[in-house]
DNA sequence: CTATCTATCCATCAAACGATTGAATCGTAG
DNA sequence: CTACGATTCAATCGTTTGATGGATAGATAG
């Protein structure tokens, strides 16, 4: 049993995969309503109907993109987790912020789409909400805030959300924030890491018990 | 010289003002592309052309809404500033978070629209970006991070952005986050304040020099 | 009363949208 | 070479979108 999405990821040169890639970028930039299937098709260099042939309706494509994005992010977080395993909390945070930030700056559409789902509203709501945000629990465990994946306290989830959001914000808001602070991209990325560490590390290490 | 927007705010019962109010809500929920002028007109209970008569095109209305929102927020921040003037930093933050959070939970469209502008993209870009985010400097000064409004350092602006964003995130993402943590609204608001203080206060008070 | 201005609705437009259909193209197995 | 399934394209459909023009009612001024 392999879903269409999985099949598309197997061969990155297939039309299905190419469409998915472009769709990630465009949906990430303009959101669901701001994107037209024509924009995607034109960017890929194909006809709209070809897009429909491969992915069905606009909504189906969007959902595939969201699932794809979350899969990627989750995998990245697993990778980070392995890197920092066993280190003291302050260091764990330091490395996590570096790795996650670097990854997201290379794939800003990930942050864009996640924030779009959080804050936006689709006029016709499909509920794929439940599928997504499970890895909050993973992060909580990785940060030493929760023992197991089940029964994560509300207070803990809120903290994890705050952490993840503040990272996504700076990635996704680059086009808006960078002109504000008037720095080039490299400097901006450095500033983001610095700021995140300034904000986040003291909170979690002040009463360190680990 | 009084702009249409100012005129509308004078008389809250005027059609112009009623449209603006509804437009704030709807644009805040669905974003620019997700909102249709028909949705707004229907909610107000008027014809579309009446909306056009008062506010011109969709884009004009949207820009008015954005300016209106930012005016409100700025005024609120001035209010907060007066309340906390002279107190020690930790206390200033504590009270600021309480007041700002309460205000935004009463007017979530403010957070929604601000985040939409940060992370979204309009297919046809108007540049009203420069008008908006000046008060970052005000907040910086209010937090004791900058002397005067001019020449605020990039590092400082980034910190202010991080603070403001983490607040907006929890307001605007309530529909997504609250079901995740499974609490009622009252409890959620309390959790937001608690979490924000947990994250933000240690960072700014650790090496307190003031 | 009449003229003028304001405010509203109704009907309608051109453009853009998501979606579908049917034909054309391509590679491949027999 | 032929036949067939998979893929792509051109053309088009019905709907929704933002926007406009004209008619109507009400208030106000001369």
Whether A177 and chain B come into contact, CB under 8 Å, resolves to: yes
How large is the average pLDDT for residues B11-28? 85
A29 CA – C18 C1', rounded, Å: 20
Q: How far does chain B reach from its first CA to its final CA, in angstroms?
A: 43
How large is the average pLDDT for residues B160-166? 95
More confident residue, A146 or A111: A111
Query: For residue B204, is pLDDT > 50?
Result: yes
Q: Which 129-168 residues of chain B touch chain A by CB within 8 A? A: 129, 133, 136, 154-155, 157-159, 161-163, 165-166
Pick from B76, B73, B49, B60: which is nearest to B20 by CA?
B60
Range of the domain at A12: 4-205
Among B119, B131, B181, pick the best mutation site for testing chain A contact (most A Cβ within 10 A). Answer: B119
Residue A57 belongs to a domain: yes
Whether A181 and chain B come into contact, CB under 8 Å, resolves to: yes
Query: For residue B154, is pLDDT > 60?
Result: yes
Residue B210 belongs to a domain: no
Q: Which 37-96 residues of chain A touch chain B by CB within 8 A? A: none
pLDDT at A86: 86
Residue A196 belongs to a domain: yes
pLDDT digits (tens, 9 = 90+) for B38-93: 899 999 989 898 999 899 889 989 999 998 999 899 999 999 999 998 899 889 99
Q: Flag if A117 and B166 touch (Cβ within 8 Å).
A: no
Tell me the CATH number at A20. Answer: 1.10.357.10
How large is the average pLDDT for residues B122-145? 71
Residues of chain B positioned with their CB less than 8 A from the CB of A136 = 180
Residue A210 belongs to a domain: no
Give the closest nucleotide to B52 (alpha carbon vs C1').
D19
Contact flag, residue A50 CB and nucleic strand D, below 7 A: yes
Percentage of chain A lying above the pLDDT 90 cut = 54
Residue A184 belongs to a domain: yes
Give the closest nucleotide to A14 (alpha carbon vs C1').
D7
Residue B164 belongs to a domain: yes
Residue B41 belongs to a domain: yes
Work out the minimum CA distance from B5 to partner chain A, whole angstroms.
Answer: 25
Q: How far does chain A reach from its first CA to its final CA, in angstroms?
A: 43
Tokens 């700014």 identify what position? B204
Nucleotides of strand C lying closer than 7 angstroms to a protein CB: 7-11, 16-22
- Count of domains for chain B: 1
Residue B60 belongs to a domain: yes
Q: Count other C-beta atoms under 10 Å from residue B106's C-beta.
A: 9
What is the Cα gyration radius of chain B?
19
In this prediction, residue A210 has a pLDDT band, given cuts at 50, 70 and 90, of very low
In this prediction, residue B126 has a pLDDT band, given cuts at 50, 70 and 90, of low
Backbone angles phi, psi at B160, to 5 degrees: -65, -45
DSSP string of chain B?
---HHHHHHH-TTSHHHHHHHHHHHHHHHHHHHH--HHHHHHHHTS-HHHHHHHH-SHHHHHHHHHHHHHHHHHHHHHHHHHHHTTS-HHHHHHHHHHHHHHHHHH-HHHHHHHHHHHH---SS----TTTSTTHHHHHHHHTTS-SSSSS--HHHHHHHHHHHHHHHHHHHTHHHHHHHHT--HHHHHHHHHHHHHHHHHHHHHTT---
């Amino acid at each position: 049993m392999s879903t269409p999405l999985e099949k598309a990821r197997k061969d990155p040169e297939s039309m299905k995969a190419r469409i998915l890639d472009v769709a990630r970028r465009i949906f990430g930039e303009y959101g669901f309503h701001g994107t037209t299937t024509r924009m995607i098709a034109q960017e890929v260099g194909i006809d709209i109907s070809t897009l429909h042939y491969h992915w069905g309706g606009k909504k189906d494509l969007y959902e595939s993109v969201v699932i794809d994005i979350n899969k990627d992010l989750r995998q990245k977080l697993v990778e980070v987790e392995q890197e920092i395993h066993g280190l003291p909390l302050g260091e764990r945070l330091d490395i996590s912020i570096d790795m996650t930030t670097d990854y997201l700056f290379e794939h800003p559409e990930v942050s864009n789409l996640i924030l779009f789902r959080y804050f936006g509203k689709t006029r016709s709501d499909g509920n794929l909400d439940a599928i997504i945000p499970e890895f909050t629990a993973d992060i909580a465990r990785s940060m030493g805030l929760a023992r197991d994946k089940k029964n994560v306290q509300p207070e803990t989830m809120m903290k994890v959300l705050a952490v993840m959001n503040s990272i996504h914000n700076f990635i996704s808001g680059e086009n808006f924030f960078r002109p504000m602070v008037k720095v080039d991209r490299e400097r901006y990325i450095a500033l983001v890491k610095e700021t995140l560490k300034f904000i986040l590390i003291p909170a979690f290490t002040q009463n360190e018990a680990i």
